[in-house]
Structure 1
Amino acid sequence: MGHVDHAAFGWLTPVLSYAMACIGAALGLRCTVRALGSTGRSRRNWLVTAAAAIGTGIWTMHFVAMLGFGVRGSDIRYDVPLTILSLLVAIAVVCAGVFAVGYGRDRTRALLLGGLTTGLGVASMHYLGMAAVRLHGAVSYDPLLVGLSVLIAVVAATAALWAGLNIKSPVAVTAASLVVGAAVSSMHYTGMFAVSVHVTPSSSVLPGATAMQFVFPLAVGLGSCLFLTSAFVALSPTAGEREASASAQRPVESVVR
């Protein structure tokens, strides 16, 4: 059995990955709040932005955490197409869950369906990402911990969508995003502790890209996009703020006349 290390860089990767999950959740919740206050094309666009933010945040969290993943006795490479597929799956399935909530007539049913869909999507993304790992040896999983990680993913997703439906104030959204980030991180590390590796020493070159060649630049790029989009959403006025601004200007205009 190979010794598996989940934090090769100490606390850096767990803390950074948690921050990415929180930023993605905060941006997604803020966009969901905007979507529920909009109609037509505007609602759809906000929901797509929310799904992209949550999906990208979770994916970036996973692969930033994976930078700390190491196995004694073997190098690690990542299959590029499978890694990109895991990102697309994360965004697509979160999108389905968010739309179920955004357009559902029966709120409770929409929330449960959306939470289940999104949670299974997050779990699928995680295990697709793990399937992209290439090393000298065989990877096996503890079924009990895998099941627990899927359950945590579903509960975390349902909680995130509930927060999107019920929480409006920025302070509450921030608190909710910290909880969602913790839940997503818990799901990731529960899934990682389910992993055991039987190393088969070999001098052959592994296929795929190293984490620093591919995963790190992609995670940094997506992380930067999340930060920029977060800033844009945070600084753009809500419908209520625009109305308040417009009503404040009307008396001024009448005085000028």
Structure 2
Amino acid sequence: MNGTVSNFHYGAVTPVTAYLMACLGSALGLRCTTRSLRRARPGRRAGWLLLGAVSLGCGIWTMHFIAMIGFGVAETPVDYDPERTMLSLAIAIVVVAVGVFLVGYRGAAPGNLAVAGVFTGLGVAAMHYVGMAALEMRGAVHYRTTEVVLSVVISVVAATAALWAAVSVRGAWPAFGASLVMAMAVTGMHYTGMAAVTVRLHEVSPTAQSSVGLMSFLLVMLAGPLVALLVAGVIVMFDPDVVLGDGPWNTPGTPASTPRHALARSPHTGGVSPQTGTRSPT
């Protein structure tokens, strides 16, 4: 006997919230990766890439499990295995980090972008299905092949587009638009994969699903990634480009010790040269 599967137990609340979290992760990932390409010091470049990978990976994983709050089977309670749930989070962060570091250090040449996109896309799909393997219920989850293949294709295309955007998109509004599209693709991948799900029941529970315990577990699991996204948001918000705006004090080759007021009056602006102290010609 097949169970009655629902992905929208709470209506539009879970898909909309999941999409917004994917937007946040995508936006932070784009911002951090863009900053890594404009930093003069290699040490900071690696740090920004790592922060971008953690932001994007946590955003994708958070989207998945917020969406899963709306998942239920009418005839059986649903629970999760904590170890497999945490494994899915680790997979999301690691595969995104590999892709981000590949394009961050080797660029978006077609061959490199294809390798990074395929690896990351397959990894994100693996995160989804490992997360699904964490489901515990009085039944077995089965998948229709067509939807599974389509979800993997969407994941690879979305990952490739995200990595390309991370090293190619410039400006606040283009980056914002790219994050919306990326989040739509990632959320679409999730719900395409969920459309493949059928549950073959072993037995029918005489009691209704208790959603309170399940939601408490998922909220505890979500706490860590949400804190990571909050920390990343604070770091990006207080980044000099955000506080001061783009300017010569953020360009590669500028000494970190050079005061902002001296750079603002550099020869590029017709002001006083910080090297000579003389006014340059206008």
Which position in structure 1 is the counterpart of 2:256? none
Which position in structure 2 is the counterpart of 1:33? 34
Which position in structure 2 is the counterpart of 1:243? 249
Which position in structure 2 is the counterpart of 1:122? 124
Structure 1, residues 71-120: CA drift from partner, whole Å, max 9, x if none? 01100010000000000010001111111111116722121111111101
For structure 2, which runs of at least 5 residues remain unmatched after alignment? 207-211, 251-259
Out of 211, 233, 236, the position equivalent to 2:236 is: 233
Question: How far apart are 1:232 and its partner, in Å?
Answer: 2.5
Question: How far apart are 1:249 and its partner, in Å?
Answer: 5.6
SS of alignment partner, residue 247 of structure 2: helix
Partners in 2 of 1:122 and 1:210 — Cα distance? 27
Mapping of 1:178-257 within 5 angstroms? 178-201=180-203, 210-238=213-241, 240-241=246-247, 243=249, 245-246=260-261, 247-248=263-264
Matched, 1:95 2:101: no
Question: How far apart are 1:210 and its partner, in Å?
Answer: 4.6
Partners in 2 of 1:234 and 1:108 — Cα distance? 32
Which position in structure 1 is the counterpart of 2:76? 74
Instruction: Say if 1:27 and 1:54, in contact at 8 Å, map to a contact too.
Output: yes
Which position in structure 1 is the counterpart of 2:254? none
Instruction: Say if 1:78 and 1:210, in contact at 8 Å, map to a contact too.
Output: no
Partners in 2 of 1:69 and 1:109 — Cα distance? 38
Partners in 1 of 2:86 and 2:132 — Cα distance? 12
Partners in 1 of 2:190 and 2:106 — Cα distance? 29
Instruction: Name which one, 1 or 2, has greater alpha-carbon Rg.
Output: 2
Q: Cα RMSD over matched residues?
A: 2.4
Instruction: Say if 1:79 and 1:134, in contact at 8 Å, map to a contact too.
Output: yes
Question: How far apart are 1:236 and its partner, in Å?
Answer: 1.1
Matched, 1:86 2:88: yes
Q: What is the TM-score when the length of structure 1 is the normalising length?
A: 0.90
Out of 150, 158, 161, the position equivalent to 1:156 is: 158
Instruction: Say if 2:155 and 2:185, in contact at 8 Å, map to a contact too.
Output: yes
Instruction: Say if 1:18 and 1:181, in contact at 8 Å, map to a contact too.
Output: yes
Instruction: Say if 2:18 and 2:66, in contact at 8 Å, map to a contact too.
Output: yes
Percentage of pairs with the same residue: 45
Which position in structure 2 is the counterpart of 1:53? 55
Partners in 2 of 1:43 and 1:249 — Cα distance? 27
Change (3 A) 1:242 1:235: farther
Task: Write the letter of the residue equivalent to 1:112.
Answer: A
Q: What is the TM-score when the length of structure 2 is the normalising length?
A: 0.83
Out of 109, 112, 133, the position equivalent to 2:111 is: 109
Partners in 2 of 1:150 and 1:66 — Cα distance? 18
Instruction: Say if 1:17 and 1:64, in contact at 8 Å, map to a contact too.
Output: yes
Question: Runs of 4+ in structure 1 displaced over 4 angstroms?
Answer: 249-255
Task: Write the letter of the residue equivalent to 2:170.
Answer: K
Instruction: Say if 1:25 and 1:180, in contact at 8 Å, map to a contact too.
Output: yes
SS of alignment partner, residue 198 of structure 2: strand
Which position in structure 2 is the counterpart of 1:175? 177
SS of alignment partner, residue 198 of structure 1: strand
Instruction: Say if 1:20 and 1:223, in contact at 8 Å, map to a contact too.
Output: no
Greater RCO (CA < 8 Å, at least 6 residues apart): 1
Which position in structure 1 is the counterpart of 2:20? 19
